[in-house]
Amino acid sequence: MTQGIPFNVPFLAVAALIGIAFYIIVSQRNLIKLVMGLSILASGVNLFLITLGYREGGVAPIYTHAPAGIMVLPVPQALTLTSIVIAVACLALMLSMVVHIYRHTGSTDSEKSRIMKG
Amino acid sequence: MVVASLAFVEFLVIILARDIYLNGLHIYTLGASSPDLTIPENYIVPVRIILEVDSMSIFMAIISATVSLAAAIYSLSFMKGETGQNRFYTLLLLLVAGMFGMVLTGDLFNLFVFLEIASIAGAALTAFRTKFADTAEGGLKYIVISTVAALMVLFAIGIFYAQYNLINIGALAHVMQYTMLDKIALVLLAIAFMMKLASVPLHMWCPDTYSVAPASITIMLVVASYACLYALFRTCFTLYGVSPDMVTVGWIVITLGMLTMFVGVTMAVFQTDIKRLMAYHCISQTGYMLLGIGVGLAVLNRPEALNTYGIAAMDGGIFHIINNALYKGLLFLTAGALFYRTGTRDLNRMGGLAHKMKWTTIFYIIGALSISGIPPFNGFASKLLIYESVYRFNPILAIVAMITSILTLASFTKAFYSAFMGAELPEYQEVKEVPKSMIAGMAILAAGIIFFSLFPGLVVERLAHPATEALINQGAYISGIMGGGG
């Protein structure tokens, strides 16, 4: 971490992102906002993984022409990359479903567009 | 093509199952010079992606293969007339791949990836028939729940990686310290898998999704949720194993199992939508499995109790997974057949269909008797194992389980009378039996039920009991990865 920023700050950001995301998912009735909440949740978890792998003053873990010194951990970055790809697929699928719901019911409000009950 | 490839997969799985029964655990390391090379040279921990297959994994794989085969054959006629057939079967194979990946992998992150693959394919298939207004709603609920669950799993993986720099299940179990963070990770994993499993109180998505999905996809979603059940067992038994906290965890699983069982069935009694009714029963049956396995967990560190009834309870719970996949699958397929011919899922608008749809009626009776635990069907065999062993653990639990079974019978009798019995209704004069491929799909599952009903002892001995042994024997799974060191 660069000088002056305590090491905990990224973790606080993770907690804030996940907290905001859960608040949005639970409280918002608009389906688009729900999808945005899920996207924020995914970002929070990705940030968590990246922060775990960070080592102070580390360089990117590429062996070719690497400068001397420590590297950050490569595994969390690989995990995050996979997770980002998956999150994009989920996001696209969810948005397309919201579009279909809107076409059929004329609303993206989860209370008004709801068909099934009980 | 799809049917042929799935039949081939089924064939391969059965060969592998026989081999595992004879020779024990199998390991395959992806990308290594030799498949047994779990720990690369100059490393002390496994870093490669490893597939690890033991009796429990192959047990789940058999279920996935059988049900997918039946679902694919059934879809041939059921989905005829829909647009985008190619995409439908592509997604179906993707869902199969996701389920197999989840049950065969030996790596936590891989588990997350396959969980997401199965979720995305499952949700897309649920919402596949976009001409109906309600399908997108069911699909959206499924994908939202799945995404939240999967991100919780990912967070738990992050916690493990932060502490041990490992994501391999066997290697993690080897070094597990049971710190506070590990407990948080256990809670996250358990909640995530319970969410996907539709265990009460996180079951709300289940009836909506199951009732709008095409019938052949519903049964695959049921199996996909059992893959999550497998992941839950793998976490509790293999990853955490014998520790003092497991008594508490076991009781939590038992309590949730009882709630799931009872709430599921009481909600089911009032439903008039046939697939919704079956979906609530599906929730209720999951409770039996959680109950059986929860008893096993609670007595895991008391060897004498484990040997007298704990193992029997787990055998029952695991045997119930395959039984439920078969008869619940059969019932969902008959519901799909009714929908295919009448165009409605509302029980109040059906009637007298037994005159026209003889095969469907027979299959429905087999499935309904089996789910209610009527002897001699296979549901009775696994439920009896659960009742007997749970009664010795705590009699009240067994009594609630029996009441649930009676309510199940009551609700399926009601559905039977409204759909099949009575005079022929004028609007269903032209209704005839469903096409041959749908009958064939149902017949595969019905044949499985009858086989299991005739030889329950054989199935428990060859399939369910080795699976239980594999779950309890944490050391074997670890030494498979760590190379004999245990």
DSSP string, B405-431: HHHHHHHHHHHHHHHHSSSPPGGGTT-
Exposed / middle / buried, residue B3 (Cβ in 10 Å: 0-12, 13-18, 19+): middle
Give domain status of residue A111, yes or no: no
- Please report the pLDDT score of residue A107 as a whole number: 82
* Closest approach of A56 to chain B, Cα-based (Å): 15
Residue B341 phi, psi (nearest 5):
-90, -35
Q: Per mean pLDDT, which range of A48-57, A109-118, B442-451, B477-486 is the poorest? A: B477-486
The answer to whether B382 and B314 are in contact (CB under 8 A) is: no
Residue B130, SS3?
coil
Cβ(B110)–Cβ(B49) below 8 Å:
yes
Cα separation, B74 vs B83, whole angstroms: 17
Q: Is residue A63 part of a domain?
A: no
- pLDDT digit string, tens, across residues A1-53: 344 556 678 889 999 999 999 999 989 889 999 999 999 999 999 999 888 87
Averaged pLDDT of chain B: 85
| Residue B340: pLDDT over 70 | yes
Write down the pLDDT at residue B224.
92
Residue in the structure block whose two tokens are 């047990």: B59
Q: Print the domain residue range for B110.
A: 2-482
Interface of A with B (CB under 8 A): 18, 25, 31, 34, 38, 41-42, 45, 48-49, 52, 73, 75-76, 79, 82-83, 86-87, 89-90, 93-94, 97-98, 100-101, 104-105, 113-116, 118
**CA of A90 vs chain B CAs: smallest distance (Å):** 7
- Chain A within 8 Å of B154 (Cβ-Cβ)? yes
Domain count, chain B: 1
Task: Confirm whether the ipTM is greater than 0.90.
Answer: no
Closest chain B residue to the Cα of A115, Cα to Cα: B134
**Cα atoms in the Cβ-side hemisphere of radius 13 Å centred on B312:** 18
Of the ranges B3-12, B115-124, B169-178, which is most confident? B115-124
CATH code for the domain in which residue A86 is found: 1.10.287
What's the pLDDT tens digit per position in B99-120? 999 988 888 889 999 999 999 9
Q: What single string gives the DSSP state of each residue in B189-225?
A: HHHHHHHHHT-TTS-THHHHHHHHS-HHHHHHHHHHH
Residue type, B199: S
Mutate to test the interface with B, among A46, A52, A90 (most CBs of B within 10 A): A90
pLDDT(B480) > 80: no
User: Is the residue at A115 inside a domain?
Assistant: no
* pLDDT at site B121: 94
- What would the mean pLDDT of B197-201 be, rounded to a whole number? 83
d(C-alpha B31, C-alpha B33), whole Å:
7
Per cent of chain B over pLDDT 90 is 16
- Measured CA to CA, the distance from residue A99 to residue B10 in angstroms comes to 38
Choose between B11 and B126: higher pLDDT. Answer: B126
Per-residue pLDDT for B148 more than 90?
yes
Please give the average per-residue pLDDT across B439-449, as a whole number: 90
Question: Which residues in chain A are closer than 8 Å to B155, comparing Cβ atoms?
Answer: 18, 45, 48
Helix and strand tally (H, E) in chain B? 20, 2
* Residue A82 resides in a domain: yes
Q: Indicate the number of domains in chain A.
A: 1
Domain-located, residue A64: no
Residue with tokens 């047994």, as numbered in its chain = B36
- Alpha-carbon distance values, B306 to A83, B131, B296, B385, B470 (Å): 40, 53, 7, 14, 14
CB < 8 Å to B154, chain A: 45, 49, 79, 83
Tell whether the torsion through CA atoms of B198, B114, B150 and B53 is positive or negative.
positive
Whether A90 sits inside 8 A of B120 (CB atoms) is yes
Cβ-Cβ contacts under 8 Å, B139 against chain A: 97
pLDDT at B204: 84
Residue A92: inside a domain, yes or no? Answer: yes
User: Can you give the residue range of the structural domain that contains A30?
Assistant: 9-58+69-105
- Asked, for residue A110, whether it belongs to a domain, the answer is no
